Amino acid sequence: MADTSQKPNTKGLYIKTYGCQMNVYDSERMRDVLKPLGYSPVDSPEAADLVVLNTCHIREKATEKVFSELGRLRELKQESGGVLRIAVAGCVAQAEGEEIMRREPAVDMVVGPQSYHRLPEMIAKLSRKTGDVLETDFAAEEKFDALPKTRDVDGASAFLSVQEGCDKFCTFCVVPYTRGAEFSRGTDAIVAEARELTRQGVKEIVLIGQNVNAWHGAAPAHDGRGGEWGLGNLIRHIAKIGGVERIRYTTSHPRDMADDLIDAHRDIEQLSPFLHLPVQAGSDRILKAMNRQHTAADYLRIVDRARAARPDIAFASDFIVGFPGESDADFEATLQLVKDVGFAQAYSFKYSPRPGTPAAGMQLQVAEQVKDERLARLQSLLNEQAQAFNDATIGRKLDVLFSRNPRRDGQALGYSPYMQSVHVDGAAHLTGHMATIEIVGATMTSLKGRLVPAIAGALA
């Protein structure tokens, strides 16, 4: 526990983040919101005056993890004599706020993903012991307007949230209920934030949203042509900001893969040749029951269009096995789609019924053991593909942005243009830089590289 009697103006803040990149962004912004109140990040809950759990509700296990973490924090709060404050944020807060307050009295505040700009007021109310400590309104616009215009980032890569929420209502998914309706931030606000990031030395901007390619916004006034922009035009615009060396975007929906976005892959040098495009399943019957609003053939057509625009583009995807009613033949169709595309990376999950979603109440839930077997088969195919993709880069020279904290002394750690993790030993000076690296080894999940001699000289 931080001794506030000796340091009256600083308070320790510990945020634990679960789930997707949207939560990673939100946690950063919560730090920005709490900074003026004297909160600065500490490395452990023990050193904190305020602990925030920024939670994820997408699958069952995530929720249970939150409750067990809260159990540990309750003890810490008791040891602190009740001084430690505990807040639950994110999608579990949104979906189960009242239940959390009831089930875990140690929790002081519950704040949904669209309300965390209200944390300062909530903390004030808590001190006065008055008013609401549960905020789960949906007002993405108000949130973005209220967030500080400055951002405190360190590192070469930063997330920039451009879109939130989802109107697609896939029948398995809680996101439309926890994150609310699709909302696109205004073009000018996004461009201003991108400039702010580059001012702080950021080289890679990762545009994020639950359905990032559903983003649309008015063309900025200086564009002169007016009209609406899609994500492709936004990327073109951000690419012109000085200092932007790389742009990525995630996560996309097949329905929203517009031509302007595909064309951006052909035209924009800084745009990574990498597309995370969840397909979930390969059987049209299951895709329909999932309300995905696309068929397997639609997905394959997008893959072809993207490859025609940018032949080396790499694909990543998300898969769910054991959706209600999935037969052996349906599952085989998923395996076939995987073979037809050839993925560089993938995330695959067993279907987990989520309360309040249509699929949770469907007949013909698949037995756990069948889900286990299908997941194992799918993952073994996807692992083979990941290994093959990585092996194929051995001997190539790739531009790597060393944006990550190294795991070992003297190492530099970053990502290739295809989002492969790359490590180079004895090259710590590359951290924070982009450099051309020769790939000399590959596992299923990472690449080993070495400096190309001419570059080594230039950067040494």
Name the residues that contact ligand SF4, by CB under 6 A.
166, 168-170, 173, 175-176, 210-211, 253
The answer to whether the CB of 205 falls within 8 A of the CB of 244 is yes
- Smallest distance from the beta carbon of 172 to ligand 5AD, in angstroms? 4
Contact between 290 and ligand 5AD by CB under 6 A: the answer reads no
**Least CB distance from residue 368 to ligand SF4, whole Å?**
22
Query: Smallest gap, in angstroms, from Cβ of residue 319 to ligand 5AD?
Result: 6
Q: Smallest gap, in angstroms, from Cβ of residue 352 to ligand SF4?
A: 13
3-state secondary structure of 440: strand
Q: Which is nearer to ligand SF4, 161 or 210 (CB)?
A: 210
Nearer to ligand 5AD, 67 or 349 (CB): 349
The helix or strand, by DSSP H or E, that contains position 249, with its residue range, turns out to be strand 246-250
The reply on whether position 217 binds ligand 5AD by CB under 6 A is: no
How big is the chain, counted in residues? 460
By the rule CB under 6 A, 200 interacts with ligand 5AD: no
Residues 6+ apart with CB under 8 A from 415: 400, 401, 403, 404, 421, 422
Q: Which residue is nearest to ligand 5AD (CB)?
A: 318
Instruction: Give the one entry of ligand 5AD, ligand SF4, none that residue 85 binds, where binding means its C-beta sits below a cut-off of 5 to 8 angstroms depending on kind.
Output: none
Is the CB of 118 or the CB of 371 nearer to ligand 5AD? 371
| Token reading at 191 | 């461009």
Q: What is the dihedral of CA 216, 313, 205, 62, to 10 degrees?
A: 80
CB 239 within 8 A of CB 207: no
58 binds, among ligand SF4, ligand 5AD, none (CB under 5 to 8 A by kind): ligand 5AD
- Mapped onto helix, strand or coil, the DSSP state of residue 347 is strand
CB of 91 vs ligand 5AD, minimal distance in Å: 11
Which amino acid, residue 459? L
**Please, what is the minimum distance in Å from the beta carbon of residue 253 to ligand SF4?**
5
User: Which listed residue (352, 387, 421, 436) binds ligand 5AD by CB under 6 A?
Assistant: 352
Binding mask 309-348 for ligand 5AD (x = CB under 6 A): ---------x-x----------------------------
From the list 171, 280, 283, 393, which residue makes contact with ligand 5AD (rule: CB under 6 A)?
280
Tell me which residue has tokens 């996309």.
Answer: 252
β-sheet bridge partners, residue 54: 17, 89
Best CA proximity match to 265, nearest among 291, 238, 236: 236
CB 400 within 8 A of CB 448: no
**Residues whose CB is less than 8 angstroms from the CB of residue 381 and which lie 6 or more positions away in sequence, other chains included:** 335, 338, 339
Residue 93 or 156: which CB sits closer to ligand SF4? 93
Nearest-approach distance from CB 351 to ligand 5AD, in angstroms: 5
Alpha carbons within 13 A on the beta-carbon side of 361 = 4
Could you say which of ligand SF4, ligand 5AD, none residue 351 binds, taking C-beta under 5 to 8 angstroms by partner kind?
A: ligand 5AD
Which tokens go with 182? 């699709």
In the list ligand 5AD, ligand SF4, none, the entry touching 349 (Cβ below 5 to 8 angstroms by class) is ligand 5AD
Kindly give, in sequence order, each residue whose CB lies less than 8 Å from that of residue 306, ignoring residues fewer than 6 positions away.
257, 262, 265, 275, 313, 315
Q: Which one among 274, 299, 351, 402 touches ligand 5AD, defined by CB under 6 A?
A: 351
Taking CB under 6 A as the criterion, which residues in 43-82 touch ligand 5AD?
58-59
Nearer to ligand 5AD, 58 or 147 (CB): 58
Q: Which range binds ligand 5AD by CB under 6 A, 32-40, 129-137, 226-234, 349-357?
A: 349-357
Angstrom distance (rounded) from CA 354 to CA 276:
24
* DSSP code string of 279-314: -B-S-HHHHHHTT-S--HHHHHHHHHHHHHHSTT-E
Q: Which does 210 bind (CB under 5 to 8 A by kind): ligand SF4, ligand 5AD, none?
A: ligand SF4
- Report the interface residues with ligand 5AD, using CB under 6 A: 58-59, 172-173, 278, 280, 318, 320, 349, 351-352, 354
